[in-house]
Amino acid sequence: MNQLLKNVLTLAAVVSVSVVSAQKKSATPVYLNEDAPIEQRVEDALERMTLDEKVAFIHAQSKFSAPGVPRLGIPEVWCTDSSHGIREECAWDKWSGAEWTNDACTAFPGLVCLAASWDPELASRYGVAIGEEARYRNKTVLLGPGLNIYRTPLCGRNHEYMGEDPYLVSTLAVPYIKGVQSNGVATCAKHFALNNQEQRRHSTDVEISDRALYEIYLPAFKAATVDAGSWSIMGAYMKYKGEYCCHNQYLLDDILKGEWGWDGVVISDWGGVHDTHQAIHHGLDLEFGTWTDGLSQGKANAYDAYHLADTLKTLVKAGKVSEDVLDEKVRRVLRMVFRTTMSKDRPYGSFVSPEHSAAAREIAQGGIVLLKNENKVLPMRPAEVKKLLVVGDVATASMMKSGSSTTLKAKYEILPLDGIKAAYPNAEITYMRGYEVDKRKAEPLKDVVEAAREADAVIVFAGLYYKGGQDAEGVDRKSMELPYGQDKVIEALCGVNPNYAVVMVSGTGVAMPWKDKVPAIVQGWHCGSEAGTALASVLTGEVNPSGKLPYTYYASLDQCGAHVLGDYPGDKNHHQVYRDDIFVGYRFIDREGIKPNFPFGHGLSYTTFEYSNVRINRTKGNANSKWVVSVDVTNTGDVDGKEIVQLYVAAPKGKLNARAVKELKGYNKVALKAGETRTVEIPMDFSSLAYFDEAMHDWNVLAGEYKALIGASSQDIRGEVAFEVK
Ligand code: BGC
């Protein structure tokens, strides 16, 4: 072949290859091109969709799925509960399980335990791990994290949320969300907003000042959507200003999509949509639910009768609703699909891996709180305990089934008693139920007391079950008291054996009438698959506890602002004024000078920490001024440990009628070897000083003298420095 012919052939080959690839390219619609910008994909897909497809796209087709656009290859949208584990597959149109055999998950600790860790790195690990499980199960949306504020200890879902302080919740929500979404699974921050109680959650209309709304109840949602970029959010069941939160013009259009400029999907809580006009016009994008008008009425498979279904289609066809309104909702759902299931960056996930077990265990270990430890009763070192008495039905009760959205089918669950047996292999362990639960019979109390007298050490596991009226959805507790007469058993053992510890397995505060008589108390939460291992590791001292309370542990309800000042649970018309306003948790405690059982931010260690030399430095001189508050912290004990150093700001009152005595604005969890001293730095910016000015409808900062307070808890302030804002 001569050179010329060779060249011609090569050229022909190149031309034919590029023709083929051009053909291929032009054959690939933009919406299927994973490299195209998302907004272009959205517009291209939208153009191709028929009216029927658009309407179908924005409401459920089954209990947990919406249909996608099968003709175009756009996959179904699959949602799954919950914040702390991936729920089993449900039957198509039922809450009950579909009886698959490959869907048993890793159960992670409840979010309140994560909050008690005060550890953004653990929050990130949590998000990554649960996101991997959701991805493996091919879910589009994880229905969490729960971000409502702990306003009353009675709220049945406190265990799903992250405590009473908006700053703490926000700083943990962000890494959790980023972790989940790094798996190509959308989070659905819930329940937006004001779902601070379960009692009358479908009918309560909340009245609240703008200041309390913006300062206490919205920051975590703003952090979730604006800072972390959560791709979806769930409307709450409650009403605000007379409109249900799932289609609430103020919350969704004005604040979320307006002020915050957020471009994600508003998903209704299941059955939370009640008004077709509002559902169409007030911010809702994707309707999920059970029946046609809420949770309890209608017929099975009623999806066509949803508010965003046939009715909407008829209205659009009749020209009564502009197709633009529908398109805007479709766009948002498409955007979420391109960010998740149709993204080339979506990894593959993993399920019930050893890494997930380790994450679950370490989150639990980081969040368990040592509330009290007189005479160093804890740790109970295995070498020193020959005869151990374990009491309490909780020690052997599974904490997986709540009957509602937190129910998990876990691959495994290490119960507290199993954890103890493994941690004390050489001890003689006696287990007694102590109190009767359901039909599980208990021993006579005198026998339990007798056994306690003969043991070297006694551990009582007490707490709340995932059951209606305890730690569960749909209803609040009636009082702070422990159920099943558990207090009686705990009381009976006081003074019998000096080596006595009570472990509280609950997701919220309970009354502790015996608090002063029990030498050691541990807040053990609901820790999921690794509960037993994590609890035992703290009791034996293998792990030095480092969690601190993310909420005020009230001695009784009359220490809680919502009960004293608010009108919880609302009046006879289900109208509720949040008279406690910004005075939630420690903000109320501080103002009233109350001594709760344990304050917000409290938690002990097997070592002790000394604080000295609190100082403040300014890092920049302009309006975005940043300060760094520093303190030297020394581990003064003989074991390594972690301390959570807290920064509170006390602001001048200025023209404000009411201002919290102090507010949490920073924290830093540091590991210190025995004897080690470290300088702990906590940055703070201008926004830490702001309050929500109702007249301006914006954040504002008063000039005057501020104080930076450094504490080991909200009631254990170790040092302070003043600084001036001009
Ligand atoms: C709960 C949500 C949950 C949804 C789906 C509702 O009852 O309030 O938190 O995600 O059900 O199970």
- Segment (H or E) for 641: strand 641-650
How far apart are the C-alpha atoms of 416 and 437, rounded to whole Å? 17
Ligand 1 neighbourhood includes 406 CB (under 6 angstroms): no
Ligand 1 neighbourhood includes 402 CB (under 6 angstroms): no
**Which residue is closest in CA terms to ligand 1's atom 12?**
405
Ligand 1 neighbourhood includes 143 CB (under 6 angstroms): yes
pLDDT reported for residue 298: 66
CB burial of residue 97 (10 Å; 0-12, 13-18, 19+): middle
pLDDT reported for residue 19: 40
Which residues in the chain show pLDDT less than 70? 1-26, 290-299, 620-624
pLDDT reported for residue 27: 83
pLDDT reported for residue 161: 98
The rounded Å distance from CA 393 to ligand 1 centre is: 28
The rounded Å distance from CA 229 to ligand 1 centre is: 21
Ligand 1 neighbourhood includes 84 CB (under 6 angstroms): no
Ligand 1 neighbourhood includes 64 CB (under 6 angstroms): no
SS3 content of the chain, % helix, strand, coil (to 5): 35, 20, 45
CB burial of residue 687 (10 Å; 0-12, 13-18, 19+): exposed
The rounded Å distance from CA 722 to ligand 1 centre is: 46
Domains in the chain, start-ordered, CATH in brackets? 356-551 (3.40.50.1700), 609-725 (2.60.40.10)
pLDDT digits (tens, 9 = 90+) for 377-422: 999 999 999 999 999 999 999 999 987 899 999 999 999 999 999 9
The rounded Å distance from CA 439 to ligand 1 centre is: 30
Tell which one of 83, 270, 290, 408 to mutate to probe ligand 1, the residue whose CB is within 8 A of the most ligand atoms.
Answer: 270
Ligand 1 neighbourhood includes 88 CB (under 6 angstroms): no
Q: What is the phi/psi pair of residue 578, to 5°?
A: -80, 80
Q: Work out the angle at residue 359's Cα, subtended by the Cα atoms of residues 463 and 461, and round it to the nearest 5 degrees.
A: 15
CB 488 within 8 A of CB 511: no
Ligand 1 neighbourhood includes 269 CB (under 6 angstroms): yes
**Which residue is closest in CA terms to ligand 1's atom 3?**
405
β-pair partners for 458? 389, 500
269 is catalytic: yes
pLDDT reported for residue 93: 86
**Which residue is closest in CA terms to ligand 1's atom 4?**
270
The rounded Å distance from CA 141 to ligand 1 centre is: 13
pLDDT reported for residue 300: 72
How far apart are the C-alpha atoms of 325 and 186, rounded to whole Å? 23
How far apart are the C-alpha atoms of 50 and 132, rounded to whole Å? 34
**Which residue is closest in CA terms to ligand 1's atom 8?**
269
pLDDT digits (tens, 9 = 90+) for 106-115: 999 999 999 9
pLDDT digits (tens, 9 = 90+) for 340-379: 999 999 999 999 999 999 999 999 999 999 999 999 999 9
Ligand 1 neighbourhood includes 54 CB (under 6 angstroms): no
Ligand 1 neighbourhood includes 393 CB (under 6 angstroms): no
The rounded Å distance from CA 190 to ligand 1 centre is: 9
- Segment (H or E) for 632: strand 626-635
pLDDT reported for residue 2: 47
3-class secondary-structure state, position 661: coil
pLDDT reported for residue 657: 84
The rounded Å distance from CA 275 to ligand 1 centre is: 19
β-pair partners for 387? 428
CB burial of residue 16 (10 Å; 0-12, 13-18, 19+): exposed
Tell which one of 160, 273, 288, 473 to mutate to probe ligand 1, the residue whose CB is within 8 A of the most ligand atoms.
Answer: 473
Tell which one of 402, 405, 407, 408 to mutate to probe ligand 1, the residue whose CB is within 8 A of the most ligand atoms.
Answer: 405
pLDDT reported for residue 297: 59
Ligand 1 neighbourhood includes 118 CB (under 6 angstroms): no
How far apart are the C-alpha atoms of 518 and 460, rounded to whole Å? 10
Ligand 1 neighbourhood includes 188 CB (under 6 angstroms): no
**Which candidate in 269, 393, 580, 590 is catalytic?**
269
> What number of other Cβ atoms are within 10 A of residue 180's Cβ?
32
How far apart are the C-alpha atoms of 48 and 57, rounded to whole Å? 13
DSSP state of 247: G
CB 205 within 8 A of CB 575: yes
How far apart are the C-alpha atoms of 645 and 717, rounded to whole Å? 10
pLDDT reported for residue 623: 60
Ligand 1 neighbourhood includes 81 CB (under 6 angstroms): yes
- Full 3-state SS string of 350-406: CCCCHHHHHHHHHHHHHHCEEEEEHHHCCCCCHHHCCEEEEECHHHHCCCCCCCCCC
Nearest atom, ligand 1, residue 190 CA: 9
- The secondary structure of 470-481 as a DSSP string is SS-SS---SSSS
pLDDT reported for residue 21: 44
The rounded Å distance from CA 168 to ligand 1 centre is: 24
Q: List the one residue out of 568, 589, 585 whose CA is nearest residue 577.
A: 568
